[in-house]
Structure 1
């Protein structure tokens, strides 16, 4: 929920937290301070993190009220990383975590946790989000550690030269073992995208990995990187992802979409690759539906 108000003469000169309390009496002082601390407050479109800063008449104060369950103090340590060198790092994003800051929060996002990690390891660079995973999607996310690396991987992503492998659970057996969807994607409303003309070019290669009881594990390899691309293309095929209620997927503990692997070449030709283990909820859903992941989880020879 977003709350917005303009600072009037009565609030001018007040501390940010006191002025917010006066403008939004339905919130407690403690809740307002938590919103400020978690990065859910802007003053005239600028992020405000200091509760004691003075307000000025005419400033626009906006608060993003975040659900309690989203307040996860996300921290990455070196042993948590999937990959790290002098130019890149990769993390395993958990489902339910935002990839980057939102109007509701800064802390508790992957972007913020990576920025803290970089600072704590002596790197004075921002966390550059060069690709993202939807909140409900888990798996590999790469972050460049410097501007040169960011430019390099951004170009590779634009040219479709980053290999991305996703796993998705659907509830219907596809008609073919391997198939490709080449269909443009456009935004339909605030929350949904769909195959539409005109739209942005989108290509995804699919194949069936395993079939169980009422569910099928599908591999997706997106060539392009459109918002919701795999979700939209599977829905277009009549195969909505389990747990993806936005696109008509059947009920599941979480949206069953996982970025299993990303691979590309560095500017000096080195292979850069990360593989993300699946989380317990994904594993349990596979077990419950008689899908054996063990052969797929073995390391490549």
Structure 2
């Protein structure tokens, strides 16, 4: 990492930074410093807040004075993100201002690293924006789902958008290519979803009375010989909600390796599309600075566009 922590640092907490736990603040501020080292210096009292010790759960206040000790970092490893290989993320940005980045996330890339992945969208954007003091995901998309994803560039924007999400003030619209003919009269699926973790850490969601109430609204966009393109609007925000609700309705999404239909998927792959055919097409919310409602739409990638436009007679 290019960050240099080998000298004492003095930080004054701004109004935008107040309210967060000191451990989370240090993890974000001291990029490249292992979490274990951050918790060690907190535990040993080497981080001072207003000249006193602070526990990891301490919540920062405006004008708090932080003193961070010098930390020696190992030289950067070979697995540091090569920014020349993630230029596609820059090209995928739909909108950016001082509060937000709106990106059209490609299918096949996770929103964040972990589970054997060296990096995801958020780590890639941080590598592309090394001087950005704050970049955090506002919400998530499954790894294989493409489309609109919001990233906050200020903590105040993140708080504002999370509040809008909690109050159901954010409208998300997805497009999904599903097997068979979706019934014209089926406008919604209400089915409780239960999150199960199998051996190996794989997460599978199923319809179960033990699960949380879940609802998705649907509308037909186009009908094909063996499939339907539907618009899906999640009213609740459960893990894998649209994918499981489509399966529950008897119309699994094309290319879904967890909840799909093998024969249908084989047919779609033969047409040159080997991805999950679920796309976050649009999002609408109130801009955290202007207070005005804004809407962003994400175009299909080449594979999905080719399938739905040029090969639609074969679907």
TM-score (norm: length of structure 1): 0.68
**3-state SS of paired residue (1:188):** strand
- Aligned to 1:110, which of 106, 121, 140? 121
CA distance in 2, matches of 1:100, 1:52: 20
**3-state SS of paired residue (1:97):** coil
CA distance in 2, matches of 1:45, 1:283: 47
Specify every segment of 5 or more residues in structure 1 that has no aligned partner in the other structure, as ranges. Answer: 1-41, 54-63, 65-70, 293-301
Question: What are the residue-to-residue correspondences of 1:138-177 with 2, within 5 Å?
Answer: 138-177=146-185
Question: What are the residue-to-residue correspondences of 1:207-246 with 2, within 5 Å?
Answer: 207-246=219-258
CA distance in 1, matches of 2:141, 2:293: 22
Change (3 A) 1:211 1:265: same
- Aligned to 1:259, which of 280, 291, 310? 280
**3-state SS of paired residue (2:187):** strand
Aligned Cα root-mean-square deviation (Å):
2.9
Change (3 A) 1:237 1:105: same
Deviation at 1:212, TM superposition (A): 1.3
1:59-78 residue CA offsets vs partner (Å, 9 max, x unmatched): xxxxx9xxxxxx99323676
Structure 1 stretches of 4+ moved >6 Å = 42-46
> How many residue pairs end up in the alignment?
229
Query: For structure 1, which segment, 151-160 or 134-143, has the greater mean C-alpha deviation from structure 2 after superposition?
Result: 151-160
TM-score (norm: length of structure 2): 0.66
**Residue of structure 1 equivalent to 2:194:** 186
**Residue of structure 1 equivalent to 2:313:** 290
Deviation at 1:183, TM superposition (A): 1.8
Question: What are the residue-to-residue correspondences of 1:1-301 with 2, within 5 Å?
Answer: 50=74, 73-75=85-87, 80-107=92-119, 109-119=120-130, 122-125=131-134, 127-189=135-197, 190-249=202-261, 250-251=264-265, 252=269, 253-267=274-288, 268-286=290-308, 287-290=310-313
**3-state SS of paired residue (1:132):** coil
Deviation at 1:131, TM superposition (A): 1.0
Specify every segment of 5 or more residues in structure 2 that has no aligned partner in the other structure, as ranges. Answer: 1-33, 39-72
Change (3 A) 1:77 1:215: closer
